[in-house]
Amino acid sequence: MGQGRLSVVVTRHLPPVVETRLKELFDVELRDPDTAMSREELAAAMHRCDVLVPTISDRIDAGLIGQAGTRLKLIANYGAGVDHIDVATARSRGILVSNTPGVTTEDTADMAIALVLALTRRIPEGLAAMQAGNWQGWSPMAFLGGRLAGRRLGILGMGRIGQAVARRARAFGCQVHYHNRRRLRPEVEAELEATYWESLDQMVSRMDILSINCPHTPSTYHLMNARRLKLMKPTAVIVNTSRGEVIDENALTRGLRAGELAGVGLDVYENGRVNPRLQELPNVVLLPHMASATIEGRIEMGEKVIINIKTFADGHRPPDQVVPGML
C-alpha cells in the first residue's frame, strides 16, 4: 500500500482494547449502535474503505463484492470461518481476505464438553426445576443421567478443535473415536488414544456421543443427513459447535420427535437462527452461538485482525491470508 493511514470500517463492536488500538493505527470507522449492517450499509462501507473488518453475521457474496469499486483491498475477517465471504470472487477482483485461525480452539472445545455434560447429566432440566421452585428435595431416582466414563465419543472433524475435544474427553474417561478427511499421524493418534474410522457410517452407528467439529464446505453440507442420523443408536446424543449446515436440521428434528436420538446440543444453526420446532423439545440444549465467547478469545481475534491489517499496510502478505481452495 502507499503512504498514509488506511481507512478501515469495522462492522460490529469489538473489545474496547481492540478498538482503541485500531484507532491508534488507522483511520477507523466503528459501528454504533452494535447492530448487524444491512446489505445496503455493507455495500456503502465496502465502497468507501481500504479495509473491511466483518464478522460472521455479514454475508459478503459476489454481488456485494462486485459493488465494492476499486478502493477496497483487504477483507480482514474477525473470525476463523470465512464461508460467509465469497473468497474466490474477492481474489478475482484483487481483494485479499484474511481470518483469525486457531484463536478459539480451546474455548470451543470447552463448550463442546459443556454441551455433552448438559445432555448426559440433564443439567438444563435440573436448572429449570430449581428456577421454577419445583424441587421438593433429593430423591434417589430424580434427574438420573449417565456417567461419561466408558462412553464412546465420535469426533467428526479431527482438526485443532476436534483434537482439543479429544484431550478433554479422555480426561473424563471417554473412549475417543474419529472420522476425518485425512487420518492423523500415528504419534498424534497415540497421544490422543483415538481410534480412526474410515467409514463415517460405521462410526456413527456405534457411538454414544457424536461431536461435530468439521467446517462447512460443499462436501460437508448435510453430512449428517436423514439416512446417517437413523444409523445412530436411540440412546446417543449429538453436539454441534462447528457449523449448522453440517446437520440436516429438519431430519434431526424428526428423529428427536420419533425417539431415534436421546438428545442434541447445538450452538450453531443451519439457517443462522433457531428452528422453532427444536425449541419445543425437552431433550434439546440450545445456545446462542457462544462457544467462542470469551474475553480472552475476542481480544486475541482482534489482535490477529490488527496484525493482518498492519502487515498488509506495510506492503506484505497478511500472515492469515485465506487462499481459495485451501479452506
Tell me: the pLDDT tens digits for 38-50? 999 999 999 999 9
Looking at residue 272, its pLDDT comes to 83
Look up the CATH superfamily of 7-103+294-313: NAD(P)-binding Rossmann-like Domain (3.40.50.720)
What cell does 221 get?
Answer: 453440507
Question: Which residue positions in the chain have pLDDT lower than 50?
Answer: 2, 327
In what helix (H) or strand (E) does residue 186 lie, and over which residues does it extend? helix 186-192
Cell 489482535 identifies what position? Answer: 303
Summarised one tens digit per residue, pLDDT across range 262-286 is 999 999 999 888 999 999 999 999 9
Cell 465420535 identifies what position? Answer: 154
From the list 119, 114, 117, 116, the residue with the least C-alpha distance to 262 is 119
Q: Domain extents for the chain?
A: 7-103+294-313, 105-286
Question: 3-state SS of the chain: helix, strand, coil percent to 5?
Answer: 35, 15, 50
Give the span between the Cα atoms of 222 and 271, in whole angstroms: 12
Looking at residue 4, its pLDDT comes to 75
Residues 6+ apart with CB under 8 A from 282: 125
pTM: 0.90
Q: Is 105-286 in the same CATH topology as 7-103+294-313? A: yes
Q: According to CATH, what is the number of the domain 105-286?
A: 3.40.50.720
